[in-house]
Each structure stands twice: as structure tokens, then as C-alpha cells.
């Protein structure tokens, strides 16, 4: 089974994430994509992160009704900092050796990979699916070979032109601006209904 994995803070999940999932699903003929909200996104230390229950609820609202998409609480349920290497190991264990893990991430995240916990193990456990993000400039996968020789050749990149970021959405929500066209409608309703990000500006 070709299993796509889209991990993220999802604070909030937005149409960039949805476009990335859809593009990866089609380009790689994945059977399913698991959306996994991070428990403790330690690489974003210094940025205040909404409670996991809100981030999970927004993910669930965004993917509701699509059979190819599932959410997982495995990282929210795990204590301590969230390490993708542990997530991939758990998934390999749960799905067995026939599972072909495809980890989807934005081009910006590739640059951060050397700072991840056990990055060589991450690359050894999955095929990396790199989604282009506008404003990221030229995509340079050479960084992958620096972590695990040969891994750049195994990575797949998929073109995507969705200039949406969660940071911009939190800013707009704080200003009371519309989020139409940036997040699914149910996610916008959730954000407004729960008053998420209203104090975002004060935290900057
Ligand atoms: P923030 O603006 O708070 O940093 P974000 O929009 O990057 O958040 P995350 O939840 O941290 O959202 O992202 C999860 C994954 O989705 C990361 O691998 C990120 O690179 C990727 N991603 C986010 N937005 C896009 C986008 N517009 N196009 C492609 N990939 C994206």
C-alpha cells in the first residue's frame, strides 16, 4: 500500500495543505493520505501553538467526506517532542513491511531537515515527496544527500503553486479579515466560532 503522510502543525490547516495532498495523491497514485497534527512541534519553539484539540478538529473538518484522507492522533497522543522518525517507525510497525511510506513536505521544510531528530533515519524509512512552495526560490535537493547519500535521487518533487501559509491566516484572523479562499469553509467557521487567533498579533 502506498501511504502518504502529511505531518504539520496545522494551526490552522489551509488550502495549501489540501492542494499539496491532492497533488501528491494524483501524482504518485497514493492509496491514502494520513494527516498527522504534531503534538509538540519543537522546531517551532517560540511560536505559540493552539491546543491540539483545536488543530485536530480543524483537520477533521477539512478532510471530512473524502475517503482517501484520514487523520491520526498518534503524534498528539505521544508524550515529549514530536519526532517524525518515531512516527514513521510506528507506521511501519502498524502497517507492516508492505506499506510504502511517502512523507509529504513543503520545499521550505527540506531546508530544515538537517535540524530534525535522526534525519538520516527519516530519509531511510520513506520516499520524500517535496511540494514546491512559491517564495521558496529554487528547490535544492542536494541537502538530502548531505544527510543520507543517495537520498536526493529517491525524493520526488511535485509542482504546486499555492502561496498560502498558516502564519498569514493567523494574521488575517487577528485582523478580522475574511479567510475565504485560504481555508475550507468549515475550518473558517471553526476559527471564527472558537475565536482562534484573535490575540495572535499581541504575541508577535
Ligand atoms: P506556518 O506558516 O505557521 O509556518 P505552514 O503553513 O507552513 O505554517 P505547517 O502546518 O507547519 O503549515 O505545514 C505542514 C507541512 O505542509 C510542511 O511540510 C509545509 O512545508 C507544508 N506546506 C504548508 N503550506 C504549504 C503550501 N502552501 N504549499 C506546499 N506545502 C505547504
Which tens digits make up the pLDDT trace of 96-148?
Answer: 988 999 999 988 888 888 899 999 999 999 999 998 865 656 667 888 898 88
Residue 110's SS3 state is: helix
Percent of the chain residues topping a pLDDT of 90: 69
What pLDDT is attached to residue 134?
Answer: 58
Q: Helix, strand or coil for residue 144? A: helix
Burial category of 51 from C-beta neighbours within 10 Å (exposed 0-12, middle 13-18, buried 19 and up): exposed
Which residues lie with the beta carbon below 6 Å from any ligand 1 atom? 8-10, 16-17, 20, 105-106, 108-109, 131, 133, 160, 162, 164-167
Picking from 32, 49, 31, 53, the residue whose alpha carbon sits closest to that of residue 40 is 49
**Half-sphere exposure at residue 178, Cβ-oriented, CA atoms within 13 angstroms:** 3
- The span from the CA of 151 to the CA of 141, in Å, is 9
The mean per-residue pLDDT over the stretch 139-159 comes to: 86
Residue predicted with more confidence, 2 or 108: 2
Give, for ligand 1, the residue of 4, 5, 9 to mutate: max count of ligand atoms closer than 8 Å to Cβ. 9
Q: Which atom of ligand 1 is nearest to the CA of 6?
A: 15
Name the pTM for this structure.
Answer: 0.90
β-pair partners for 8:
37
Give the number of the atom of ligand 1 that is nearest the alpha carbon of residue 10: 10
Looking at 1-15, 49-63, 80-94, 151-165, which range is the least confident one? 151-165
Mutation test residue for ligand 1: of 76, 103, 166, the one with most atoms within 8 Å of CB: 166
- The whole-number average pLDDT for the span 29-56 is 91
pLDDT in tens, 67-87: 999 999 999 999 888 999 999
Burial (CB < 10 A; 0-12, 13-18, 19+), residue 75, is: buried
Please provide the size of the chain in residues: 204
Burial of 102 (0-12, 13-18, 19+ CB in 10 A): buried
Q: Name the residue among 54, 15, 48 with its Cα closest to residue 200.
A: 48
User: Per-residue pLDDT tens for 115-125?
Assistant: 999 999 999 99
Element (DSSP H or E) covering residue 100: strand 100-106
Rounded Cα distance, 40 and 62, in Å: 21
CA gap 83, 124 in Å, rounded: 15
pLDDT at residue 178 in the model: 94
Q: Please give the pLDDT value at position 201.
A: 62
Q: What pLDDT does 135 receive?
A: 60
pLDDT of amino acid 204: 47
Judge if the upstream peptide bond of residue 195 is cis by omega within 30 degrees of 0.
no
For residue 53, what are the contacts with CB-CB under 8 A and spacing of at least 6? none
Quick one: pLDDT band at residue 1, thresholds 50, 70, 90?
very high
Q: What is the pLDDT of residue 137?
A: 60
Give residue 138's pLDDT. 62
Amino acid at each position: 500500500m502506498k501511504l502518504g503522510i502529511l505531518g504539520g502543525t496545522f494551526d490552522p490547516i489551509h488550502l495549501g495543505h489540501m492542494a499539496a495532498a491532492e497533488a501528491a495523491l494524483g501524482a504518485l497514485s497514493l492509496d491514502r493520505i494520513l494527516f498527522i497534527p504534531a503534538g509538540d512541534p519543537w522546531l517551532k519553539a517560540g511560536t505559540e501553538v493552539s491546543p491540539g484539540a483545536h488543530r485536530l478538529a480543524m483537520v477533521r473538518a477539512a478532510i471530512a467526506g473524502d475517503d482517501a484522507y484520514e487523520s491520526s492522533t498518534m503524534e498528539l497522543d505521544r508524550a515529549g517532542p514530536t519526532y517524525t522518525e518515531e512516527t514513521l517507525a510506528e507506521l511501519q510497525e502498524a502497517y507492516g513491511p508492505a506499506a510504502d511510506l511517502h512523507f509529504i513536505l513543503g520545499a521550505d521544510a527540506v531546508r530544515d531537515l538537517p535540524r530534525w531528530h535522526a534525519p538520516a533515519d527519516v530519509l531511510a524509512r520513506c520516499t520524500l515527496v517535496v511540494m514546491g512552495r512559491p517564495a521558496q526560490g529554487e528547490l535544492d535537493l542536494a541537502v538530502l544527500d548531505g544527510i543520507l547519500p543517495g537520498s536526493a535521487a529517491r525524493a520526488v518533487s511535485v509542482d504546486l503553486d499555492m502561496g498560502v501559509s498558516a502564519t498569514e491566516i493567523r494574521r488575517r484572523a487577528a485582523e478580522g479579515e475574511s479567510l475565504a479562499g485560504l481555508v475550507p469553509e468549515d475550518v473558517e467557521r471553526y476559527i471564527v466560532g472558537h475565536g482562534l487567533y484573535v490575540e495572535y498579533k499581541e504575541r508577535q
